[in-house]
Amino acid sequence: MFDLSLTIGILGENIDDKVFELLVKWLEQRAEMAVLALERGDTFLHLHVQGMLRIKTSNTRILKREIKEVIGLESNGPVSESMCLKALHKKGLHTIIGLIGYCLKDEGTPHFKSYTRNVTEEQKAEGRRMHNIYGASEYKHKLELTPANILGRALQFRKYRVKNPMSITFRWCIAEMIRSGQYIPGFRWLTTNKISKLRAERIWHACTSPECVEVPDIEAIFFGVESAARYFEKQEETEEQKARRASDADKDEDADHEDDEEADDQQAQMKA
């Protein structure tokens, strides 16, 4: 019995959905346990198949040939067609549970498809938890946004990851990219003649708490800090300022009350 990871893709292109369907039929007959997903790569966002399987075989090379026959991938086919099949090394995400979580990481996206065999809901939940620990927090797997690539990456993200692409702005798209956990602002946004404290803090915020990033953060990091500064100045009102504003409001209310009492007295005198 072998526990294996499986990746099948085509260099520079999306893989055909038919490959996923053929693998599902094969796994129903051959696998003791399996999870299979149709997902996008982190850099160029091309569709590929990612999976984990527990299967009986005498040799992984023989199994690899069998899978190639199932999906119609010729052994001497073009270099652009690739398949990686390797044994799990039982560390980090390279375990049964870890691969379950890794394969489910694109859940909720328009392109995502998945298949599981003999995998429980508890194992899925534990896999997601492991991916949060060992996968999503690893900065080496995040794509750095730079002045040179930000537009191209945003267009790719808009095309493949956004459900209603016609209704979004550039700034919102970048915010959504950061919130996905797959992108971070590059250090080049700090290399100016005078480094802004606000910009540095917002970059730190985007790297450490990407799920909390909003459009004003994007304004501060990528588009200059003036309008964003006004926003954060409003948000960072001190307790003293709040107390002073509340006191002024009370004074205004007392003054209005005194005016009302004076008017009532005048009306009473006129009636008398």
Model confidence at 267, pLDDT cuts 50, 70, 90, reads: low
Strand runs (DSSP E) across 46-204, as ranges?
47-55, 81-87, 113-117, 143-145, 183-185
Give the residue with greater pLDDT, 103 vs 135.
103
Laid out side by side, the sheet with 81-87 consists of: 81-87, 2-10, 47-55, 31-40, 113-117
State how far the Cα of 114 lies from the Cα of 106, in Å rounded to an integer.
Answer: 10
- The pLDDT score that the predictor gives to residue 25 is 95
| Burial profile 66-91: b = 16 or more Cβ within 10 angstroms, e = fewer | ebbebbebeeeeeeebeeebeebeee
Looking at 20-24, 128-132, 190-194, which range is the least confident one?
A: 190-194
Average the pLDDT over 147-172 and give the result: 86
Q: Which of 22-26, 86-90, 91-95, 149-153 has the lowest mean pLDDT?
A: 91-95
**Rounded distance between C-alpha atoms, residue 272 and residue 270, angstroms:** 5
**Nearest residue to 223 via CA among 257, 268, 173, 265:** 173
In this prediction, residue 31 carries a pLDDT of: 94
Query: Structural domains in the chain?
Result: 2-140 (3.40.1310), 142-235 (no CATH)
Selected residue with higher pLDDT from 162 and 42: 162
Q: What is the pLDDT of residue 231?
A: 55
Q: Which residue has the tokens 């300022």?
A: 241
Backbone angles phi, psi at 102, to 5 degrees: -65, -40
Amino acid 271: pLDDT: 47
Q: Is the pLDDT of residue 78 over 50?
A: no
Is residue 224 very low, low, confident or very high in pLDDT (cuts 50, 70, 90)? confident
Look up the pTM and report it: 0.52
- 29: confidence class by pLDDT, cuts 50, 70, 90: very high
What is the structure's pLDDT at 262?
56
Share of the chain above pLDDT 90, in %: 24
Largest separation between any pair of C-alpha atoms in the chain: 111
